[in-house]
Structure 1
């Protein structure tokens, strides 16, 4: 055995996230495995309503009992196993940063890339590990070879950071950035696809599509949009910040050319972790956001020339993947959709209350907007927090005016019951 390998074993690094001695196996595997065995003959939809099963998952989180967090669309808490992995690697790093970071932890990126690729259903040579969807999409948007007059079609309800990246390209390079608008919810795929198709001209090069609209949770038919775009010879950039590790899909299923997500949302990975996917035959054409020695190369790693980064955060992603796989993608999707419908179906008939999101499974999952006539979004958000300690997000943007509510797998039904009571009480007061 080499001296280095022996040393690594001595300090415990061989017990990484993907070994039999992973922290997940030490902390949660037995309990979740037992829970899984009890529901193994049930469909994901039936498991979604099994509170005994989900109580096991809930116990893996360390969320504050002092507030009810219904803003998991922004950033989600990590389960305890992910937190402990980050702490473990952070302590190790500080015992000798330049050695443990570059000589030891840096070697963990390739196994992590492989596991992320497996979860995403793609080739590991198409996966980039970065910090969030904004960084990933800015890499693609600012890295595409576009010239003055080239047109890009997006939507006014895309995420602001990504719209701003396209606007910067318009200011800097003279491209034409066209934005559609929709009055969501829209429960007709053909209507959405047609809106994008009708905006295409001979100068159009790119369609930018958001898989799940962050403001109100509308799910867009990305595959249908991609197929249509490719028939016109266009490329598709997809923002999957609110879909990855929540909806049960594989990235290639979407048919897009570029995809980005934030892993600290529904994967519950460490805060400040993200992923980019670029179809392998497109890698060489994208300039890295941060300069690399081979900017036109075909190696996906050219996009990871970040320099010093948080290795503990990066390695903590592995334990989040373990946690995700233990639950199962489809079970998670159905549970979170059930939680959204659980509260929304109770408030939808309360006088003055309006739901701003479709409750059909094809068009929404976790995120749902709610408003009360006569009460602005910011006032409603303030009342919910000050009077009930319920944390939500006020949305007052374009044609969307509501409070955004997003549960996660750790959310308990009594918390949603309190939210339903709060909405009813607030609606009855004015």
Structure 2
């Protein structure tokens, strides 16, 4: 065993020299040079063409332990696995913290939040002073939902296909304070922006104050025309909250370009950050009017950090976000978006040829990226999901919610086309043997 003094010296140096954005980050040590060399080979290839380049993506797959899992994970829309270097970073920071928790956490790792805020802001395309780092989209969006002053009778418009935790938060305010929570409904897939915008427009009344919209519908992957909804709402003096849980780290966009007022996301989905990490964005001139969800000494402050008074949290997880950012930026945001969309279309287009199989998501680029819903005639979503897992070791998500009944499938950059061939083969074996059945699908 090495002397304790040597171990302490290691952790002291680790804190100083191996931050995620230093020249000695894990990303720089184990991945950066090889990825840069691989990227150089294809520097003149468009992201759309790179989406089909299996040589490049085989290299990326090697960075994810999940690529060799005996269970094929096609529920990356729930929680995505992290690259190995992110896992290693979190483990390193955990070991460091355990030497003297209050010292290494509060005096060392806590100092990494400002560089992390700046790097997240670069990806988000916004001012660092508009970003707070927290634990997930629910926390971020509940901070906004409960933090805005509303009076009895004020109206909020959402839709029945929003995420349950957000709908429940608005319903709780309705029950407790007498605001009015109105919900419109869609029959997805919808391939017409104006019909979506018009549905929100028609729900507006003189008492409406806020529109809550989901950027990517978690159930079936529909991409909503958020910018157009925000422009319409602002023309009428309304504010817009955007749930970006399934868009940030996947779609190539900047938050300000959406023209929203508030935005919340999870970082443990397509950014592949450690599980239990998230981010809140509030337009700078609106920060002071939002009450923190958890107590703060100056709740009306215009400092975004008032939303980070979470008490003791996992500093190792928070700092692991930095390595996930390095990995994401190394790939390239547009390349990543196009690859994941290609993977979704790869399996969905094959599935459309199977009698009795229905796709519940548009395959047009403007309306979907990673997520697609699928059903097999004669099987409930629960039966389909259970058989995929028990017979073929394929993990998906079964959805029976309102007018949506399907299995949700969501690949990631570590997913191989061979994995998706395996999935399509499983669908073909589970589908009814009826070659004359017409396949019903929108957006094929």
TM above 0.5, one fold?
Answer: yes
- Tell me whether 1:167 sits opposite 2:171 in the alignment: yes
User: Which residue of the partner structure matches residue 388 of structure 2?
Assistant: 384
User: Which residue of the partner structure matches residue 18 of structure 1?
Assistant: 21
Q: Following TM superposition, by how much is the alpha carbon of 1:7 offset from its aligned partner in structure 2, in angstroms?
A: 9.5
Which runs of structure 2 are paired with 1:16-415 in the superposition (5 Å)?
16-63=19-66, 64-415=68-419
Q: Is the 8 A contact 1:44 1:334 kept in 2?
A: yes
Taking structure 1 as reference, are residues 11 and 388 closer, same or farther at Cα in structure 2, changes over 3 Å only?
closer
The C-alpha deviation readout for 1:310-343, integer Å capped at 9, x for no partner, is 0000000000000010000000000000000000
Q: Following TM superposition, by how much is the alpha carbon of 1:350 offset from its aligned partner in structure 2, in angstroms?
A: 1.4
The 10-residue stretch of structure 1 (144-153 or 58-67) with the greater mean CA deviation from structure 2? 58-67
Q: Provide the C-alpha distance between the structure 2 equivalents of 1:310 and 1:299, rounded to a whole number of angstroms.
A: 22
Q: Is the 8 A contact 1:390 1:419 kept in 2?
A: yes
Q: Provide the C-alpha distance between the structure 1 equivalents of 2:44 and 2:82, rounded to a whole number of angstroms.
A: 28
Q: Provide the C-alpha distance between the structure 2 equivalents of 1:428 and 1:283, rounded to a whole number of angstroms.
A: 55
The 10-residue stretch of structure 1 (175-184 or 10-19) with the greater mean CA deviation from structure 2? 10-19
Q: Is the 8 A contact 2:371 2:409 kept in 1?
A: yes
Q: Provide the C-alpha distance between the structure 1 equivalents of 2:26 and 2:283, rounded to a whole number of angstroms.
A: 33
Q: Following TM superposition, by how much is the alpha carbon of 1:8 offset from its aligned partner in structure 2, in angstroms?
A: 7.7
Q: Following TM superposition, by how much is the alpha carbon of 1:38 offset from its aligned partner in structure 2, in angstroms?
A: 1.0
Q: Count matched residues.
A: 425
Q: Is the 8 A contact 2:396 2:407 kept in 1?
A: yes
Q: Provide the C-alpha distance between the structure 1 equivalents of 2:341 and 2:113, rounded to a whole number of angstroms.
A: 33
Q: Following TM superposition, by how much is the alpha carbon of 1:428 offset from its aligned partner in structure 2, in angstroms?
A: 3.3
Q: Following TM superposition, by how much is the alpha carbon of 1:10 offset from its aligned partner in structure 2, in angstroms?
A: 3.2
Partner SS state of residue 408, structure 1: coil
Q: Is the 8 A contact 1:8 1:14 kept in 2?
A: no
Q: Provide the C-alpha distance between the structure 1 equivalents of 2:69 and 2:305, rounded to a whole number of angstroms.
A: 41
Name segments (4+ residues, structure 1) moved above 6 Å. Answer: none
The C-alpha deviation readout for 1:36-84, integer Å capped at 9, x for no partner, is 0111100000000000000110000011531110000000000001000
**Gap regions ≥5 residues in structure 2:** 1-8, 435-444
Q: Output the TM-score relative to the length of structure 2.
A: 0.94
Taking structure 1 as reference, are residues 27 and 74 closer, same or farther at Cα in structure 2, changes over 3 Å only?
same
Q: Is the 8 A contact 1:149 1:175 kept in 2?
A: yes
Q: Following TM superposition, by how much is the alpha carbon of 1:12 offset from its aligned partner in structure 2, in angstroms?
A: 4.7
For the aligned residues, what is the CA RMSD? 1.2
The C-alpha deviation readout for 1:244-273, integer Å capped at 9, x for no partner, is 010000000100000000000000000000
Partner SS state of residue 13, structure 1: helix
Partner SS state of residue 339, structure 1: helix
The C-alpha deviation readout for 1:274-329, integer Å capped at 9, x for no partner, is 00000000000100000100000100000001110000000000000000100000
Q: Is the 8 A contact 2:147 2:291 kept in 1?
A: yes
Which runs of structure 2 are paired with 1:2-17 in the superposition (5 Å)?
10-17=13-20
Q: Is the 8 A contact 1:152 1:204 kept in 2?
A: yes
**Gap regions ≥5 residues in structure 1:** 1-5
Taking structure 1 as reference, are residues 7 and 54 closer, same or farther at Cα in structure 2, changes over 3 Å only?
closer
Q: Following TM superposition, by how much is the alpha carbon of 1:31 offset from its aligned partner in structure 2, in angstroms?
A: 1.6
